[in-house]
Structure 1
Amino acid sequence: MELLVFAIVTGIVTYGLERNRARQADRPRPRLSGSLDVVDRNTERVAAELISR
């Protein structure tokens, strides 16, 4: 009984993953989501701490 439930769940998960992959494969995806002009505040903070020492 447990093996049958395991096989059914595995089949449903495999089907869902394959369906999702096939649906997303036909359109190009952007390389990055978001903008590229983000300021790294951590770098600025570390630089300010090093200057203040």
Structure 2
Amino acid sequence: MGRSLKTPLCERLEIDLPIFSAGMGPIAGPELVAAVSNAGGLGVLGCTTMSPEQVRA
């Protein structure tokens, strides 16, 4: 029987997998954030170099 990847942190964050993308500014843009999130992980958007308008989009 395989070991479950579902952890207490996954339950708290309501995600399926304990996978977090790193917010790396323009390198890890919204497309990667969406892909990680859609796959059951937690996508993180690094927005320190983005304007408020870019973050909202």
**So what's the TM-score if we normalise by structure 1?**
0.24
TM-score (norm 2): 0.23
Larger gyration radius, structure 1 or structure 2 = 1
- Return the structure number with greater relative CO, CA threshold 8 A, min gap 6: 2
